[in-house]
Amino acid sequence: MGDWIQLETAAGPVRAWRASPRAPARGAVVVLQEIFGVNPHIRSVADGFADEGYLALAPALFDPVEAGVELGYDQAGTERGVALRNAVGFERAVQVVDAAATLLHRGGLRVGVVGYCWGGSVAFLANTRLGLPAVSYYGARTTPFLDEAARAPMLFHFGSDDASIPPEAIALHRERQPAAQVYVYAGAGHAFNRETDPAHHDPGNAALARTRTLAFLAEHAA
């Protein structure tokens, strides 16, 4: 179902995992990685959207500084991911999203963005800066940008027990983005959708968030 393609972006050439539906696509989704690269989890997420009828692209956001990065969830992987995230920065990440969305739009498809962790914050900026409907899962770096006006529908997913996004930060999302949908999942921590990581995965809350995400995409990207 999936294969790698190359995107030409303002930040340089970037690989993207492309997951194609078996039937003509009902819409398109740009899937944005965590700090661990376009690893098996992110490829699986993209494949899952293809199973729902969407053409999904997961661009490798680290490629402008280091190509082919797939990291583990241990301390070394986290530290390396943070360093690469900081090296890429938000501006180049948004440029990559722009190229992916432009390619999908050329196919005549409506496009939404779904991002996880760091990608969740990039998804928010894809909304405010590119005008794309977006879903942000546990984006912990969004708060400094919340005064940017949304230009499309916006959906946030947060875990109630996510130490990186305290309740006051969630409240600020509601205050600064009053038109956005904001859901908080009781008992869920950070990365509760990461099915390849039993230490973080919360199957029940992940399934509920997925149902809401698919309903959002059906309305705004299909």
Contact 206, 97 (CB under 8 A): no
Phi, psi values for residue 215, rounded to 5°: -65, -40
With residue 204 as reference, give the H or E element that holds it: helix 203-220
Domain extent listing, the chain: 2-220
Has this prediction a pTM greater than 0.85?
yes
The first and second tokens of residue 188, run together, are: 């869920």
Q: What is the model's pLDDT at position 66?
A: 98
pLDDT tens, residue order, the chain (222 aa)? 699 999 999 999 999 999 999 999 999 999 999 999 999 999 999 999 999 999 999 999 999 999 999 999 999 999 999 999 999 999 999 999 999 999 999 999 999 999 999 999 999 999 999 999 999 999 999 999 999 999 999 999 999 999 999 999 999 999 999 999 999 999 999 999 999 999 999 999 999 999 999 999 999 999
Report the distance separating Cα 145 and Cα 180, nearest Å.
14
The first and second tokens of residue 85, run together, are: 């995230």
Q: Which of 189, 190, 222, 195 is nearest to 210 (CA)?
A: 195
Q: Does CATH number 2.40.30.20 belong to domain 2-220?
A: no
Alpha-carbon Rg for the chain, nearest whole angstrom, is 16
Contact 182, 192 (CB under 8 A): no
The first and second tokens of residue 162, run together, are: 């996510």
